[in-house]
């Protein structure tokens, strides 16, 4: 991607009403546009979506295909895609604006800081879709299902909130299962190391991201874990 094109997309994000970015180094506020601030912590439903519907996060959302698809399929829920890559978020945010999806929005930030943006019990569910598996053992704590990240999620989710991991990577899949077995309060509801081998057990698994389509074309099996961390 050319530098000018990327800069244009970053400028677009500042004008998009469905995109939120870091504003203050201490993170008490988020930048909505170049001249507008909002104190969002604990107020996402009312400030962003103008309703009281459940709030679902998609972490490592990339181009936002899953956020977009879920928002279309479940209009009575609110979806927030989270990623640090602005050029990728631009694609999902643009599509959602074109389709008039008022229940879809995006947050550009590092997921390591996710608990700083939400109040206690504010999040009703989390999707983790094809994140970087960080295959080197020295990078295990960067995996989005490591205990370090589970501790962050636990601060913001409601009791009983369902978390989902969808991945093509066997290392991340087995690492997550092992982590959950050792994590206090974790409960594995469902696991499947090849979801397309038979009819899907959950309808929301049918949506495919750009990366998932590439993985399937390469003959890779798609894996899924559904769990809670009360």
Distance separating alpha carbons of residues 80 and 44, to the nearest angstrom: 10
Is the backbone of residue 158 left (phi > 0), alpha (psi -120 to 50) or beta? beta
Distance separating alpha carbons of residues 76 and 86, to the nearest angstrom: 27
Asked if 63 and 91 count as a contact pair (C-beta separation under 8 A), the reply is: yes
Could you give the angle at the alpha carbon of 168 between the alpha carbons of 55 and 65, nearest 5°? 40
Could you give the angle at the alpha carbon of 29 between the alpha carbons of 158 and 145, nearest 5°? 40
Rounded to two decimals, the pTM is 0.91
Q: Strand runs (DSSP E) across 51-185, as ranges?
A: 55-59, 78-83, 104-108, 123-129, 157-167
Distance separating alpha carbons of residues 27 and 188, to the nearest angstrom: 33
The 10s digit of each residue's pLDDT in 55-73 is: 999 999 999 999 999 999 9
Residues classed as catalytic:
132
Distance separating alpha carbons of residues 40 and 57, to the nearest angstrom: 15
Residue 147 has pLDDT above 80, yes or no: yes
Asked if 160 and 230 count as a contact pair (C-beta separation under 8 A), the reply is: yes
pLDDT on residue 85: 86
Give the residue among 110, 115, 123 at the shortest CA–CA distance from 54.
Answer: 123
The 10s digit of each residue's pLDDT in 102-138 is: 999 999 888 998 998 899 999 999 999 999 999 998 9
Distance separating alpha carbons of residues 198 and 100, to the nearest angstrom: 34
The dihedrals phi and psi of 200, each to the nearest 5 degrees, come to -65, 135
Task: For residue 2, name the pLDDT band (cuts at 50, 70, 90).
Answer: low
The 10s digit of each residue's pLDDT in 86-112 is: 888 899 999 999 999 999 999 988 899
Specify the CATH number for 42-229; select among 3.90.1150.10, 3.10.560.10, 3.40.50.1820, 3.40.50.150: 3.40.50.150
């Amino acid at each position: 991607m050319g530098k000018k094109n990327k800069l244009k997309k970053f400028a677009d994000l500042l004008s998009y009403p469905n995109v939120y970015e870091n504003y203050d180094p201490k993170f008490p506020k988020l930048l909505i546009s170049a001249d507008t601030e909002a104190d969002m912590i604990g107020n996402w439903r009312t400030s962003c979506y103008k309703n009281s519907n459940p709030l679902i996060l998609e972490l490592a959302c990339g181009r936002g295909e899953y956020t977009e698809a879920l928002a279309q399929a479940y209009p009575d829920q609110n979806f927030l895609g989270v990623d640090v890559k602005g050029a990728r978020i631009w694609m999902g945010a643009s599509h959602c604006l074109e389709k008039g999806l008022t229940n879809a929005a995006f947050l550009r930030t590092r997921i390591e800081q996710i608990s700083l943006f939400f109040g206690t019990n504010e999040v009703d569910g989390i999707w983790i879709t094809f994140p970087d598996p960080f295959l080197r053992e020295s990078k295990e704590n960067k995996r989005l299902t490591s205990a370090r990240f589970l501790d962050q999620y636990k601060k913001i989710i409601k009791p009983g909130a369902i978390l989902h991991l969808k991945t093509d990577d066997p290392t991340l899949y087995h690492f997550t299962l092992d982590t959950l077995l050792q994590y206090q309060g974790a409960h594995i509801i469902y696991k499947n190391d090849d979801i397309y081998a038979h009819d899907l057990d959950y309808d929301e698994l049918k949506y495919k991201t750009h990366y998932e389509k590439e993985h399937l074309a390469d003959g890779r099996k798609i894996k899924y874990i559904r769990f809670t961390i009360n």
